[in-house]
């Protein structure tokens, strides 16, 4: 464990190195300014037995921020995926395509899946957008009917009562070569489904929020890989070795309490609350650690299944406090960046 003296010595060393780097710039006006952050100074690392205790790295980080030496992180994902992704999905009009009959489609590095025309249109739109903003991820939209849904997904097709329900689950995966893969599980629709009932804004928002949850996981793999000088495949395995990616036979509580899920769900829930209540009201609802009011709202709502699971089924668990902090953090960043 580091002493207070050793922490201060590390701070002085960081400052000396930063000063040396700045002194080597011959013409600063020609250089692009990049604000120093936890990530750039490797103060966000944790989990490796050969690295400093995360608690002390956080102390150094907090000191830097207090002194104005480094900045808080901005949005965790590319600014383009907030809003731009919704626009790409809305412009596709995928819900107007047939969503009853599916056919096999093959994806390099993954294999064959079933797709309706609607799923294909959505997948193509998201893939095209990712390519345009240089996000190296292969998008795989997979059509599933109610007989193949997982147990934790409500068994229901897209119908005229729930027209904006389409992507019911997603997963961030990696190919054998380490390329990111985004799996979107889309339900088929009933025979009498009328696309005119769809709210383009709502269905695009629902899908985008789900996608950004998975992009948070892809970001986690990329960040760890860059920090440790390893591949993304090795980074994902490292998360699994640390127990942050629980095996399928682990309890639901183990999965929900995982650090990487707390981070991704914190981001997702911040978006859901901001989208439903507005950014200011959402911030008020999570402004303190008292979750009683939020629990009351969730009990009377038919929305937010995952949010309900956390706060109603595991409301007394210790990891809820960490989730609450993450939601507050991401709401603040989203407001500062004008996302909502």
Kindly indicate the confidence band of residue 67, based on its pLDDT and cuts at 50, 70 and 90.
Answer: low
Above 50 in pLDDT, residue 33? no
Residues 96 and 196 occupy one common structural domain? yes
**Mean pLDDT lowest among 28-32, 83-87, 223-227, 323-327:** 28-32
Residues 160 and 270 occupy one common structural domain? no
Summarize pLDDT for 135-188 with one digit per residue, the tens: 999 999 999 875 554 444 445 899 999 999 999 999 999 988 888 999 999 999
Q: Which residues of 82-99 are buried (b: 16+ CB within 10 A; e: fewer)?
A: beebbebbbebebbeebb
Residue 150 within a domain: yes
Among candidate residues 24, 46, 67, the one where a domain is terminated: 67
Residue 133 within a domain: yes
Between 259-277 and 319-336, two packed helices, what is the crossing angle to 10 degrees?
50
167-174 vs 137-144, strand pairing mode:
unpaired
Above 90 in pLDDT, residue 81? yes
For residue 23, the model assigns a pLDDT of 44
The domain in which residue 28 lies consists of 4-67
Token duo for residue 103: 């056919």
Tell me what the mean pLDDT of segment 35-62 comes to: 58
Above 60 in pLDDT, residue 11? no
For residue 56, the model assigns a pLDDT of 64
Residues 51 and 147 occupy one common structural domain? no
For residue 8, the model assigns a pLDDT of 58
For residue 340, the model assigns a pLDDT of 86
Among candidate residues 142, 174, 200, the one where a domain is terminated: 200
Cβ neighbour number for residue 251 with a 10 Å cutoff:
9
Above 90 in pLDDT, residue 39? no
Residues 13 and 34 occupy one common structural domain? yes
Summarize pLDDT for 93-128 with one digit per residue, the tens: 999 999 999 999 999 888 999 999 999 999 999 999
Summarize pLDDT for 246-269 with one digit per residue, the tens: 888 889 999 999 999 999 999 999
What strands lie across the sheet with 180-187, from one edge to the other? 137-144, 180-187, 167-174
Residue 308 within a domain: yes
Residue 281 within a domain: yes
Is the pTM of the predicted complex or chain greater than 0.85? Answer: no
Residues 132 and 54 occupy one common structural domain? no
Residues 37 and 106 occupy one common structural domain? no
Into how many domains does the chain fold? 3
Residues 270 and 171 occupy one common structural domain? no
């Amino acid at each position: 464990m580091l002493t207070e003296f050793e922490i201060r010595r590390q701070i002085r060393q960081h400052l000396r190195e930063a000063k040396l780097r700045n002194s080597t710039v011959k013409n600063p006006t020609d250089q692009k300014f990049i604000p120093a952050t936890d990530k750039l100074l490797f103060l966000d690392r944790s989990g490796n037995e050969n690295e400093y205790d995360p608690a002390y790295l956080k102390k150094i980080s907090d000191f830097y921020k207090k002194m104005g030496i480094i900045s808080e992180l901005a949005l965790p994902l590319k600014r383009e995926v907030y809003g731009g992704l919704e626009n790409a999905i809305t412009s596709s009009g995928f819900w107007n395509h047939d969503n009853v009959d599916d056919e096999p489609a093959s994806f390099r590095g993954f294999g064959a899946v079933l797709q309706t025309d609607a799923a294909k249109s959505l997948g193509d739109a998201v893939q095209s957008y990712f390519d345009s903003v240089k996000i190296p991820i292969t998008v795989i939209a997979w059509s599933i009917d109610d007989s193949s849904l997982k147990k934790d997904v409500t068994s229901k097709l897209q119908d005229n009562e729930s027209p904006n329900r389409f992507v019911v689950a997603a997963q961030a995966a990696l190919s054998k070569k380490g390329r990111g893969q985004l799996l979107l599980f889309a339900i088929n629709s009933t025979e009498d489904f009328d696309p005119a009932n769809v709210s383009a804004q709502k269905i695009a928002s629902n899908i985008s929020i789900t996608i950004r949850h998975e992009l948070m996981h892809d970001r986690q793999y990329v960040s760890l890989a860059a920090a440790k000088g390893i591949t993304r495949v090795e980074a994902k395995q490292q998360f699994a070795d640390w127990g942050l990616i629980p095996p399928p036979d682990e309890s639901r509580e183990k999965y929900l309490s995982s650090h990487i899920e707390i981070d991704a769900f914190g981001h997702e829930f911040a978006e859901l609350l901001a989208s439903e209540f507005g950014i200011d009201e959402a911030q008020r609802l999570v402004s303190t650690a008292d979750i009683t009011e939020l629990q009351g709202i969730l009990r009377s709502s038919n929305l937010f299944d995952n949010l309900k699971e956390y706060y109603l089924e595991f409301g007394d668990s210790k990891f809820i406090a960490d989730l609450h902090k993450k939601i507050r953090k991401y709401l603040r960043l989203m407001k500062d960046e004008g996302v909502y």
